[in-house]
Each structure stands twice: as C-alpha cells, then as structure tokens.
Chain A
Amino acid sequence: MSKREGRISGINGNMITVNFDDFVLQNEVAYALTGDEHLKSEVIRVRGKKAELQVYEGTEGLKVGDKVEFSGELLVVELGPGLLTQVYDGLQNPLPLVAEKCGFFLKRGVYLSALSDTEEWEFTPAIEAGASVKAGDVLGTVPEGIFKHSIMVPFAMRDEYKVVKVAKEGSYTIKETIAEVKDSKGEIQKITMVQSWPVKIPITAYTEKLKPAEPIITKVRIIDTLVPIAKGGTYCIPGPFGAGKTVLQQLTSRHAEVDIVIIAACGERAGEVVETLREFPELTDPRTGKSLMERTIIICNTSSMPVAARESSVYTAVTLAEYYRQMGLNVLLLPDSTSRWAQAMREMSGRLEEIPGEEAFPAYLESRIASFYERAGVVRLNNGKIGSITIGGTISPAGGNFEEPVTQATLKVVGAFLGLSRERSDARKYPSIDPLDSWSKYKSCVDEKQVEYARKILIRSTEVGQMMKVVGEEGTSLDDFIDYLKGQFVDEVYLQQNAFDEVDGATPAERQRYVFNVLHYILEAKFQFENKEETRHFFQQLRQDFRNWNSDPWQSAEFKKREDLLKSKIEESTGRIKG
C-alpha cells in the first residue's frame, strides 16, 4: 500500500499548508520531511485540495514543495504497563531517553517509543478460554510498582469476543501476544499488553457515570474544610503570578489521598517540573511507604517547548488518566496551567485566520474547556469496580483578572473554584486561597454546620475590617472588634498553613475535624472583655498557642499537653462568659 503524500505550499509559523491529491482525515497525523528529519504534524483544517497542518516542532528550514506523508492515524498514546514513574513530553516522548540520545537539547523530529519493548512483565491470567469479553474487560494482570496493572481488551475493539487462548502465567514483553479472541465474524484477533488510543477521544468502556460524592483529602486545611474537592470532581485554581498556584499543585500532588497522580506541566516553567522530577523519587508516600514517584506520571511540555505539542499535552495526560481509571483506580490529574493550553489554541486559531472571540480566543474555547473537564468523573466499570478521575487545573488569568474568557469558561464547568488572591499572597498569607470568594459544590470533611458558622464569622470580620478602615479602631464597638478578631483568628490559625513545617504542612482529615471542633468552640464563645487592648492580647496569646499546637505531631504527648493548656486557657476565659 503506497503512502498518501502531499506537498507543502505554504508555511506560516508552525502551520503549514499542504496540497494533496488523494484524501485526508481530519486530525490525522502526518510527517513533514525535511533533510533526514520527520516532523510530526496534525491536520486541523481541510479546504478543497489543501490541508492545513499544525506542526509539533519548529518549522525553520522547511520549504515550499517539501514532501508530507500522511499516516492515516489520529494522534495516539501508547497504553500499557510501564507508564508510571515516566516523564513524557506532550507527545509521549520519554524525556530521559531523549536526553540520553540527544544530550542537552531537545532535537526536533526525534520520537522514541513510550514504553520499553524489552522489559518483561509477570503476567497472571484472570480469565479462561471460552469466556466472552468486550472492550475494557480484564484479561490478566501484571504487577507495576505498587499496583496490579490490568491488561484489558483494547478499548478500540468494539465487538463481543470469545476468548480462544490466554497466555500462561509467566514473563512477557509488551509486544508478545497474551490472548487470542474471536470476534462475531469468527476472525481471530491477537491481543498484546500494549494498546493505543487517540488522545482527543474519551475512553468510554464503562457501564455508567456516577455522581462524585467522596471527598479527596489534600491535607490543605482551607481546601478540605472550606472549599473541598471530590473524587471524580473537577476544580480550578485561578490566580495571578506569584500567588502560589504551582506550590499548591505541588502540595496536592504530594499529599492527596488518591492512587495515581498525573502532573501535566503545560506551558509553565521548566524549573518547577525539575523540582518535582528530582524530589519525588526521594520522598516517600506515607500511604504506601514507597517513593512518591511510583504513583506519578509527569507530562512535561514547558513554556519553551513547541506550542502545538502543548495543546495536545493535556489530552495525552487525560488519556493516561482514563487508562488507569479503567483499572478501578482513583486518578488525580493536575494540569498547570490550562491558560497556556488555551493560548496554544489561540495561536493556532490566529494562524488559521478564524474570526476571533473575546481577547482573540477562538469561539470554540468554551466547548473545548467543557469537554476536557467532562472527562473527569466517577465511573462504574464493566466488572462493577469503581474508578475515578479528578481534574484540578490552574488558570493564569491575564493581569490576575478573573473576568477573562478562560477563567469564566472554566467556572461554568467545574465543581469547585479555588481563587487565589494577590492581597493574601502579598501579605504572605498562604495558601492564598480567598476564603470568601472561593466556592465548592462538594462535601466537606468536617461538620458542615460548623463550617457555615465559621464562614459567617469570616464575612462579619471582613465587614468590620472594612468599616474600621474608615472609622478607625476607636470608632468600632467592642463587640464588633471581637468579631473582627475572631475572623482574623480563624484565618491565622486554621486557614493559613505553613507548607515548610513538617507537621503543619499536612493535616489529615481526622485532625482537621478534631481541631475545627475546638476552633468552633472558641468562635461560639461570648467573651466579655474590659477593653480592646485586653481583647487583642487574649487573641494574640491564643493564636500563639494554637499555632504551636498546629506544629505538634498528631496524637503525640506534646499535642495532648498543648491541647490541655489551650483548653485551660479557654476555660479560664469562659469563666467570664456571659450567662
């Protein structure tokens, strides 16, 4: 079969126009040939006998008349054992291997296979000859780090099949056949441990989609208590630069109680990925005792890497997430940042000379963002197991202004909004999530009534604070002043957290419930102080004690001791509680 070919007739940035004779598929992958380099590209528009392609590489040196080969395949990723711990670029190129081959720089046109052909995996069959199977059904398992990796009937096989043969227990590479199945027409199909799937199409080999109900504990108090996130849910973190988006993502990727974390560093700083890359192998996951890297995949298409590959990197990441979800695992996907992905779309749209929407973003921005976040969710699989994908994307709004297209389009489709504020980060109040502007539709891990009460206090405190700016402290009543300090207190001892403190940096759910209960007691107390000086002094002391308490290991002797001290101080003051 001869390959379909075309010839370049125009080059504009990373977009090429190609004349073809035969036919082309929308979104099929093609290669532009220049010298001995093959540059991967994707068809994004067809008009008459001209196709427009975005090139996933730099286009320098390409010439009008250069040959283009069409592959007939959409952009796919390889799915199989060995994905965990890997560091890929947006096209699933393993970066450490590329470094071995090409040295310091990313050479264009180098595409290495994502999974090792030679590594052997211990296969254990889970099914017998004669059974009938369909896409997504488990044929057997191999151990991959801490997980049992299911080998499934490829999702692209849409028929009902009879198992003819399953490989015996033993070591196999991903290219060896581990099962043979017969389709309804009686044709035999061979199945290996690796399959490919087009990244822009969701995997739907499950029976039903469920409502996200169970919270994910991130150990960040302000999130878990005030603006919780849920397994299978979605959330976004918009914030101006320097507000701590990436730090928050890094913390979540470390502490979140999920099985697998996929970090999609999309168009951000390389240095930040390097931190994750170098530190994760050294850190242990408290839940498994193994290195954090064993549950992590990094998709790394940083800001200086080709823009078109940046656009596909979030799809690559979510497809890998779907693959592991199909095994009944809980996956957390952290794209940082979705604004860069949107900008990549904008760049392409501009080259295509499409009629621009707001801020020159394309008109389909909203639908693309919506369909991306919709790939999250809790699903019941064919075998009854439950798997989930949670997506938490950061947004980098221009000028830190949330009234911009990407933030607004995202807010429509997510279940929680964790807005970071410049005021808070300037005042070094971390995490700088705004407690009043942010919202979540998911269930908190602490008592909802108590949370509501605390929220009221926070609102009241802000009001008084605003008023005090005008009338000064001397013009504020003592009761208002107490409310003001209570709100400050909640913020300072609970919502703010020191990420560099080993204990305070990560608060388990149980501890949050326990501590919040004590906090609630303080908030409810009706104090009767003589004057503002005394009130301030009392809260300052209490704050110091509470903060120290936050740094005591959970359930340790010091924790108990400090708790008793705190309680006695509160009791002392409750001696003066009215009525």
Chain B
Amino acid sequence: MQKVYSKILQIVGDVITVEAEGIGNQELAEVTTSRGKTLAQVIRLDENKVYLQVFAGSRGVSTGDKIRFLGHRMRVSFSDNLMGRIFDGSGMPRDNGPSLAENLIEIGGPSVNPAKRIIPKRMVRTGIPMIDVFNSLVISQKLPIFSIAGEPYNEVLARIAMQAEVDVIILGGLGLKYDDFLYFRDTLEEHGALSNSIFFVHTASDPTVECVMVPDMCLTVAEQLAINGKDVLVLLSDMTNFADSLKEIAITMEQIPSNRGYPGDLYSQLAVRYEKAVDFSDAGSITILAVTTMPGDDVTHPVPDNTGYITEGQLYLRNGRIEPFGSLSRLKQQVNAKTREDHRTVMDTMIQLYSDFNGAKEKLAMGFETTGWDKKLLKYGEMFEERMMSLKVNMPLEKALDLGWEIMAECFEPEETGIKTEMVEKFWPKKEAETREVEEEVEQEGPTTVEELGSLENNFEGK
C-alpha cells in the first residue's frame, strides 16, 4: 500500500518539495497533474521535506496535485524483447511497441571492481583510416568525438556503428534533434542493424530532466548484456547536453557552481558514466563512443575539459575531417603492434611528415622562401588530406596501410622519410610497377644510409 501525498510546499524550476515520511533517497514517485502522469525522483531529503525532480518538468504542476511514491528507484526492463526497440529518456516506448515491465533492474548501479577488469587487447575496425591507422579504437575504450555544431559527428557515429563487429549497439540520444534521431534509425534499418540495436532517445524537445537519465539507462542495459558475454557498443550524442542538464538542475537546487555555472561534481558525474566502459575478465565488454560538442570550439570549456581527463583519448572532428593532431587513442598501443608489422611505422612517419607539411604551409603563407623539400611536403599534404583524411574514404586497415606507402612513394625518396631500412626494403612500392602486392617486392635499391635523411627537419613552432 502506498500513501498518496498532496501537500506540495514549493515549486522551483523542475523541483517540487512535498511533505512526506519514510521516503528513501533517489526513490521514484508518480505525480498526477492536470496534464497527465509523470515520474519524479527524490534528490534531497530534509526532515519531512522531500525534494523531487519532475521528469516532465514542473510546468502545470499544481500545489494540490497528488504524489504517489513507488518505493523503488528508476528501473529499466532487461530482456531479449529490448532488441530493436526505441524508448524515451524515462524508459517509455517511443516506437509503437508495448511497454516492458519484465525483469526490472535499477539503473546507475555500482562501479566495476578494478580487480575484475583486464587490459583490453582487441581492436575495433571502423573502416576509417584516420581511426584505424592513426588512432585505433579498442574494445572497452571510452572515446569522445570533440566537435562543434554543424560537423557530421552523428554520421561518423552511425558509420562506426555499422562497421564495428559488435553484438549489440545501444544509442543514447541526449537532446538529439528529431531529424538526427530519424537519421540514426533509418541508417541502421537500411543496413539491417536495427534488430540488434536498442535506442534510448531524448530529443531536444523533451523535458530536460529525462536527458540526465539516458546515459544510465543505456549503460545499465549494456552492463547486463556485457555480463552475459556480449560485446556492446554504446553511442552517446551529445554529452554536452547531459552536462547542461546537470547544470540546470544544480542551479535550481542552489548549489554553488564551480566553473561557468557547472556543478563542482561534473567530473565525477561524467566519470561515473564513462567508467562503465569495461572489458570483463570472463564476460563481454562495453565500448563507449560519445559526442561532445565544444561550445565556441573551446577545448578548455568545462565539459570537453573534464571529459578529456576521463576518457581514453579523443577524436577531433573539424572541417569534416578527423584531425590528426590532438586526436589521440590512448589504447592504440595495446593493439597496433599486432595488426601488421608496418602499422606503427606508417602511423608515425605519415603524421611526422604531415606535421612538417603544416610547417611548410605556414612558411608559404608567411611569404618565406620555399625549398624543394617544402614543395614535396606540400604535395604530400594535399594527397594525404584528399586520399586519407577525407571522411569519404572507407577501406580496411590493410588497404589503408598500403595506400599510405603509395602516397609516400609518390612524394618522397625512401631515405627522406626516416623509415628504417628494413621496413623500406619490405614495403616501399616500386615506382614503375603500380602493383599493390608490396609484400612481393622484398629487394629494392639496397640499403639506404639512414644518416642521409635530411628530411626530419623539425618545424619551428612545434605544431
């Protein structure tokens, strides 16, 4: 038997205060208003005053409305019936399917014991050379895409989701534009991936409070799947909206803000979610790819800044390309030694040369003299941008590595790249033959002197 309370003392923002007794922290309640029923969650207790955060917002809540406490925290149903379904931020169906009530699990459970984690060793192939070659994604990695509004970050997410060889894809939409939600749904459907996907989508027009629930919903389901041996990929777009919702609630609760209005526990709040990414010692895994839009393209803004300290690297998406500088996968070392023996060489050399290209470009822009070497770099840079950096490019890692050799061979002599002689002998393509079978051409023009590589001139600004 549940008591119904109807004494609302205070309504501030989306938080209402009622007088009630025997209520547990974070318990759910159902508020019946003239607009219908909505859920609310206990966020603070003070004597017999209970502070509730109303999911649908407090607009239209009357001081005489009825509140029924449910005696449990926010829960999500977990079963095979979830597959292919679409829900909103409070777990209600957004498609035309039935609502689910079996095997309910409280969301936002405790942290994984670090002693139960293993060092991740499996690469996720995405078909995007800028990721596969230069910043390999690894199972159990948590990686945000730092971007700004207008960039095709959702397209990148959808593409990775389609290519990644995982068992289940979970999409968490946070303040997602309705168009983008439809885009995700249609793209996954087109590729036949919808049947092993689960959507929890909070769109931009939904109440703010529900936005805060979405990551926990997604990750709780993901955790259950992972325990059952599944490899799960969780996509979250856009986590900046999550942080903004937290800010809104914190301000309503009159918490002292720490930085640009964000609450002091922003780091912990983000970390609790991102740290759900895991590779279990004897079960499945959770990989998290998130979008963090940077207000004003400023990476020192509290949201991207705190995120960067939590996640295992970041990808910068700028001008429709994944930037080679600044982008970083902290886990790539765990996998890129075992893909192909030239992987690290190609990765290091191409980036180094691209950095030199930027130096040359700057020189050109400043009106300084360009040398023959600069011209080679300029040619290289353009080819690199067009044939590898472009998001249009879609090829497996091995092809991308071969392409890397091709581009370098078209622009430079082997000794100019600083690549070790044995690697050059094995992988450097022959000029006249356009064959891709690089492995065949073991012999070449004999060992080149490493000393002669007048190429690795450091650019002046170090950037």
* A contacts, CB < 8 Å to B: 9-13, 17, 58-65, 87, 95-96, 98-99, 102-108, 240-242, 267, 269-271, 273-275, 277-279, 300, 302-305, 307, 340, 343, 346-347, 350, 353, 356, 359-361, 396, 398-401, 423-424, 426-429, 465, 468-469, 472-474, 488, 492, 500, 536-537, 540-541, 544-545
Contact = CB atoms under 8 A, between A and B. Distances in A.
A330 B461 CA distance: 42
Contacts of A488: 458
6 contacts: A105-B110, A241-B305, A242-B308, A278-B119, A307-B265, A400-B305
Interface in B290-318: 299-302, 305-306, 308-310, 312-314
A384 B134 CA distance: 56
A258 to B, nearest CB: 24
Nearest to B50: A64
B206 to A, nearest CB: 24
B251 interface: no
Interface string B107-132: 00111111111111000000000000
Interface of B: 21-27, 44-48, 73, 109-120, 140, 227, 255-259, 263-265, 267-268, 271-272, 275-276, 280, 283, 299-302, 305-306, 308-310, 312-314, 325-326, 328, 330-331, 333, 351-352, 355, 363, 366, 368-369, 450-451, 453-454, 456-458, 460-463
Contacts of B451: 541, 544-545
Q: What does DSSP make chain B's interface, helix, strand, loop or mixed? A: loop
Nearest to B369: A474
B26 to A, nearest CB: 4
Contacts of B73: 60-61
Contacts, number: 211
Contacts of B22: 63-65
Contacts of B301: 399
A95 B113 CA distance: 7
Contacts of A465: 460
Contact of A104 (B119, B257, B280, B450): B280
Contacts of B140: 271
A424 B462 contact: yes
A248 to B, nearest CB: 14
A105 B109 contact: yes
A164 B393 CA distance: 82
Contacts of A62: 24-25, 45
Given A10-B45, A347-B264, A400-B300, A302 B275 contact: yes
A473 B368 contact: yes
A544 B453 contact: yes
B115 A98 contact: yes
Given A347-B264, A474-B368, 19 more contacts: A62-B25, A64-B23, A99-B116, A106-B110, A106-B112, A267-B267, A277-B114, A302-B275, A340-B267, A350-B256, A350-B263, A350-B264, A353-B256, A399-B305, A400-B305, A423-B463, A429-B462, A469-B461, A536-B454
Ranked nearest first, the 10 interchain pairs of A and B with the lowest CB-CB distance are: A399-B300, A303-B271, A304-B275, A241-B308, A360-B258, A427-B462, A472-B368, A60-B26, A304-B111, A11-B45
A396 B267 CA distance: 11
A467 B243 CA distance: 43
Contacts of B308: 240-242
A343 B267 contact: yes
